[in-house]
Amino acid sequence: MKILVLAPHPFYQARGTPIAVDILLRCLSERGDEVDLVTFHEGSDRFYERVQIHRIKPIIGIHGIRPGLSMKKIYCDLHLFFRFISLIRKKDFDLIHAVEEGAFMAWIVCAWKKKPFIYDMDSSMSTQVVNKFKFLRPFMNVMQWLESQPIRRAAAVVPVCTELARNALRCGAKQVVVLPDISLMQAGELEAKEDSLHQIRKPSQKIAMYIGNLEPYQGIDLMLESFALVRMKTDTLVLVVIGGAERDIGKYRARAEQLGIQEAVHFLGPRPIENLGQYIMQANILVSPRTEGVNTPMKLYSYLDSGIPVLATDLPTHTQVVNSKMAMLAAPEKEAFAQAMLRLIEDEPLGSQLAWEAKEFVAKKYSYDSFKNTLHGLYARLETQICN
């Protein structure tokens, strides 16, 4: 099929949605589809067979586009929308695959061109906006109604988790196929090739590790405040934080200093995704302290696949995937999270059991082959519908 993929974000970058789009393009390329990707100007190039990348050319140079709603993103979305219209006029696409707010663009244009589209749902945009801009809470019902429109008109909605799938069904989606993220751990990465973290801890100390961006919804404040309580009881644990923009790192370094834990918290900044396994395998605990949102963080799948014990908040963002048999779950409160961290330090057999259960679980449900088979099955069904 001839497919146009709308990806309204920087591409490629080593963070959630761009990584998911990278996996999507690999799968479509392997299926033999002819794909045109429309995306932002920012990001590094990737190469796939039968895939052509089209980047917007904004009039004003904009860089450092962060996840979530922002004026930068809105400005780039406008340019993406007009680039989308230009392409769909020139080429006869069979299907539009729209990611995130690209679904609104597809809803408008596909009604005009009478083309089917897929809504690739990575989050609840209405919830995300209200969480970031509290003053918009009175308009939540209006935003939810707007969000339901592309859901109802899409040929298929592809959410990343069951909570989003339930929401899509409540909105009247015609077809819902859950396409969760996958582990990014590779077989060759499952051994640390060098002890690159040996200088930041004593031989007797253990490492708690967080990987991901440092946006407020990730619960970084909760993690630091909990770690401060742990350090009041033991100095056997250090915290390593991988990822985050420079200004966010500066903000949380200052917070760590306020809490008196700056010497035990190490912000390493972004690291190449291909080195993910080398860092993870040096951790003793992997933490996911997310406090907002319903979509499951992509890092959770790699965490669970690593064989390292995982500590996560006891919220739907995590519990729709894991249970207490495969991860240590704690309330999103600093005392509870700190206590859970201490328990994992002190009870190594418990951590090992949790890690083993998690690894077995991920191997069955969240591999690249599983993702590819689900996606190919959906596309085969839609192809039959389109041809008929």
348-365 helix and 334-346 helix, angle to the nearest 10 degrees:
100
- Return the pLDDT at 267: 95
Tell me the sheet residues that pair with 211: 242
Quick one: average pLDDT of 106-110? 94
The widest CA-to-CA distance across the chain, in whole angstroms, is 67
pLDDT tier for residue 20 given thresholds of 50, 70 and 90: very high
Quick one: average pLDDT of 67-87? 90
Q: Is the pLDDT of residue 71 over 70?
A: yes
How do residues 262-281 score in pLDDT, each as one tens digit? 999 999 998 888 788 888 98
Quick one: average pLDDT of 187-193? 45
How do residues 84-98 score in pLDDT, each as one tens digit? 999 999 999 999 999
pLDDT tier for residue 129 given thresholds of 50, 70 and 90: confident
Would you state the structure tokens that stand for residue 259, as one six-digit string? 């809490």
Quick one: average pLDDT of 131-152? 84
- Return the pLDDT at 86: 94
pLDDT tier for residue 186 given thresholds of 50, 70 and 90: low
- Return the pLDDT at 113: 86
- Return the pLDDT at 197: 77
Q: Phi, psi (5° rounding) for residue 55?
A: -105, 145
Whether the CB-CB separation of 314 and 332 falls below 8 Å is answered with yes
- Return the pLDDT at 192: 44
d(CA 181, CA 175): 19
- Return the pLDDT at 191: 47
Domains of the chain: 2-182+367-387 (3.40.50.2000), 187-365 (3.40.50.2000)
Between the alpha carbon of residue 113 and those of residues 91, 108, 253, 363, 370, the distances in Å are: 11, 9, 51, 42, 33
